[in-house]
Amino acid sequence: MIDLLVPLSKGLIQLFGVLSIGLLIATAFLDKDVKGNIINLRLINRTRLFLLLWFVSLMIFVIIQIAYLLDQPISASFDLTVVRSYLTQTSIGKSYLIQFLGILLLLILPLRKILISYFALLLALGSFISPVFQSHGSASGNHGLAVGALVIHVIAISFWVGGLFGLTQLENEQKIIALPRFSEIALWSAIAVAISGTANAFSRMDSVEAWQSKYGAVTILKIFLTVILIGFGAIHRRWIITSDLPSVFRLISAEIAIMFGTIFVGSWLSTIAPPERVVTSTPALLLTGIELPPEPTLSRILFSYEVDGLMLGLLVFVVALYIKGVVILSRKGVKWPIGRTIAFAAGVSAVDFATSGGLGLYSHFSFSAHMSSHMVIGMIAPIGIVLGAPITLALRTLPIGRNPQERGVRGSFIALLHSKLGKFYTNPIVALAIFDGSLFALYFTPLFGNLMQGHTGHFIMSIHFLLAGILFFQILIGIDPMPQKIPHLVKIIIIFAAMSIHAFFSISIMSASTLIDGGYFAQLQRPWGTDLLADQKLGGSIGWAMGEIPILLALLATFIQWSRADTKEANRIDRASDRAAAMGEDDELAQYNRYLSELSKKDLRD
């Protein structure tokens, strides 16, 4: 009996989680807002109801799961000490604790502002996918591909299934208005579902025997249901184009039923262990999910490739959005500078090399490779991305409001840029503290050793390095509009401060007489590079060398921008003087001198 309750209760979690996310999608993107305020109180109340159902279903699942693991009656699992131990001392339990806390925060948030609804959607997605990182396959190879593909798959399903449910909860008139926007979301989601599902199946089943297993049979059933859903989506899109909206809404009920079935099949699949792959277990494989590579050489670092599925999926999504923006401008007859596109592509390629390429592969096994990867992600790649002007492209291509009172995605993005939060993070001192201060918080505390222990930690570090670098270089050399204009002299001071802090950090690592990884690299038992302290010192020197060069380039770019700004200002003054002379008026300098003369005369009279 309890064997049946486990997948059913887990299916309820996923069902109510997806429906809650769908209602948040409807609030954030599909329903109308009035100057950034959400006016559909019925939709907000329904969202809170489904969040509560999500929370309750999670509680029920945890109790059933404990009973299943301990092989005891469900009534015996209500012991608070046992529940607390499960949620705080096991990896999968900690992921459910994160989900508990995320749902509680969502229930507290006031969902009356459109910007808060965006944050709530991100929080809901983060809470929903937290258990996915503990999925099967960590010790069977292809861990980065399997987990990344599954995370993307879950997010895409949430947008597709949840978004459709959210659409049905709108007023009839608003449904018609929101349908084309949801169709766009569904198209992107369907593509992501198909690609991520294929990648996930490939990473777990690499033989005919694997497909003949129970896991393979359930996977085939899920594929069958997904193909039907994609077919429904294609029909919807054709009917929307031909404005046959009544037929679309008649088909939605059947589509939702199949979607719910797909969710429960997916939850069933998550409770079944995938077929075992024939691999030799090693400490490195057990710890990282990646087979220990041979001793690094230049060719191996340049040409090896171990897919980090989550980061690769994120990069592909960002590139697709960038290309779409360029295409939209092209259709309007606006030519986007090719240099910006090349710079952006170079930045994204650098991130891929440092996460999935040879450098990313060896960053799991060597501190010096890890530091090289860190420098590429946080110092080199952000320069290309910033010079690609993604904010400018977004502001010129994001959807505007569907009526004069609606902010839309573009209006909300502008409001966020100019909000107090946006001004706070674009303060150069704050950006410097995040960029350099976080180095000491990460590497000189147990945080580094803890984050190195799993795929989630690696992803968090990579995202932090990338965002911190983009923020820092955006303030210094960015060509995108910013909430506040930073004087060039302040930029130069910040650059010199960054150089000094970064040099001190690197020297501190080079001078350390103990390992700072909390024993992580020793656990790998690698046969090459056995002097871990020497490798750590090498990492410090690499960090110093690779970190100073991009900052010096930023300094040079700042001087060039300052010079160009002075030249532009001088030309502006000359043009103003010529116009004043042509009209028989004084130029700005003459007006200023006359103003000073009048002040002097006034002082003499007083």
User: Can you give the pLDDT at residue 587?
Assistant: 53
Residue 38: which H helix or E strand, with range? Answer: strand 37-38
Is it the case that residue 44 has pLDDT exceeding 60?
yes
User: Can you give the pLDDT at residue 138?
Assistant: 43
The neighbour count for residue 569, using CB atoms within 10 Å, is 10
| Domain end position, chosen among 77, 101, 134 | 134
- Picking from 150, 101, 154, the residue whose alpha carbon sits closest to that of residue 125 is 154
Provide mean pLDDT across the span 433-456.
89
User: What are the respective helix, strand and coil percentages of the chain, to the nearest 5?
Assistant: 80, 0, 20
Which of 193-202, 252-261, 425-434 is least confident?
A: 252-261
pLDDT band at 17 (very low <50, low <70, confident <90, very high): very high
Provide mean pLDDT across the span 216-227.
74
The answer as to whether 230 is a domain residue is yes
Provide mean pLDDT across the span 561-589.
60
The answer as to whether 289 is a domain residue is no
| Domain end position, chosen among 134, 149, 174 | 134
Highest mean pLDDT among 20-29, 395-404, 414-423: 20-29
pLDDT band at 277 (very low <50, low <70, confident <90, very high): low
User: Can you give the pLDDT at residue 590?
Assistant: 56
Note whether 275 and 308 are same-domain residues. no
The answer as to whether 290 is a domain residue is no
The answer as to whether 497 is a domain residue is yes
3-state secondary structure of 34: strand
Note whether 307 and 256 are same-domain residues. no
| Structure-token pair, residue 256 | 């939702």
The answer as to whether 537 is a domain residue is yes
Provide mean pLDDT across the span 298-307.
91
The answer as to whether 597 is a domain residue is no
| Structure-token pair, residue 343 | 């710079």
Note whether 130 and 143 are same-domain residues. no
Q: Which residue has the higher pLDDT, 465 or 203?
A: 465
User: Can you give the pLDDT at residue 588?
Assistant: 55
- Picking from 427, 442, 340, the residue whose alpha carbon sits closest to that of residue 391 is 340
The answer as to whether 452 is a domain residue is yes
Note whether 364 and 497 are same-domain residues. yes
User: Can you give the pLDDT at residue 139?
Assistant: 44
Q: What CA–CA distance (Å, rounded) separates 489 from 269? A: 59
| Structure-token pair, residue 177 | 């208005």
Note whether 252 and 337 are same-domain residues. no
Note whether 310 and 272 are same-domain residues. no
Q: What CA–CA distance (Å, rounded) separates 13 from 283? A: 34
Q: Which residue has the higher pLDDT, 235 or 66?
A: 66
For residue range 90-125, what is the model confidence (pLDDT) as tens digits?
888 888 999 999 999 999 998 888 889 999 999 999
Which of 186-200, 219-233, 270-284, 485-499 is least confident?
A: 270-284
pLDDT band at 604 (very low <50, low <70, confident <90, very high): low
Helices 143-157/114-129 angle, 10° precision: 140
Domains in the chain: how many in total? Answer: 3
* C-alpha dist (Å) from residue 211 to 4, 138, 201, 218, 271: 23, 20, 9, 9, 17
Q: What CA–CA distance (Å, rounded) separates 269 from 275? A: 12
Q: What CA–CA distance (Å, rounded) separates 458 from 572? A: 50
Note whether 275 and 319 are same-domain residues. no
User: Can you give the pLDDT at residue 43?
Assistant: 92
Highest mean pLDDT among 247-261, 503-517, 587-601: 503-517
User: Can you give the pLDDT at residue 263?
Assistant: 67
User: Can you give the pLDDT at residue 225?
Assistant: 74
Q: Residue 221 class from Cβ within 10 Å (0-12 exposed, 13-18 middle, 19+ buried)?
A: middle
User: Can you give the pLDDT at residue 550?
Assistant: 84
User: Can you give the pLDDT at residue 561?
Assistant: 74
Question: Which domain does 191 fall in, by range?
Answer: 138-279
Q: Which residue has the higher pLDDT, 412 or 604?
A: 412
Q: Which residue has the higher pLDDT, 105 or 552?
A: 105
Q: What CA–CA distance (Å, rounded) separates 462 from 518? A: 19
| Structure-token pair, residue 559 | 């001087």
For residue range 536-550, what is the model confidence (pLDDT) as tens digits?
999 999 988 888 888
For residue range 373-399, what is the model confidence (pLDDT) as tens digits?
999 999 999 999 999 999 999 999 988
Note whether 170 and 269 are same-domain residues. yes
Q: What is the mean pLDDT of the chain?
A: 83
Asked whether the beta carbons of 406 and 361 are under 8 A apart, the reply is no
**Identity of the amino acid at 562:** W
| Domain end position, chosen among 83, 114, 134 | 134
Q: What CA–CA distance (Å, rounded) separates 338 from 340? A: 5
Helices 172-204/143-157 angle, 10° precision: 160
Note whether 128 and 257 are same-domain residues. no
Query: Which residues lie below 8 Å from residue 92, measured CB to CB, with a gap of 6+?
Result: 131, 134
Measure CA of the first residue to CA of the last residue in the chain; give whole Å.
99
Is it the case that residue 455 has pLDDT exceeding 60?
yes
Note whether 60 and 183 are same-domain residues. no
Q: What CA–CA distance (Å, rounded) separates 534 from 272? A: 44
Q: What CA–CA distance (Å, rounded) separates 384 from 381? A: 5
Is it the case that residue 468 has pLDDT exceeding 90?
yes
Note whether 189 and 242 are same-domain residues. yes
Note whether 448 and 502 are same-domain residues. yes
Q: Whole-structure pTM over 0.85, yes or no?
A: no
Q: What CA–CA distance (Å, rounded) separates 466 from 347? A: 10
The answer as to whether 603 is a domain residue is no
User: Can you give the pLDDT at residue 509?
Assistant: 92
User: Can you give the pLDDT at residue 135?
Assistant: 62
User: Can you give the pLDDT at residue 137?
Assistant: 47
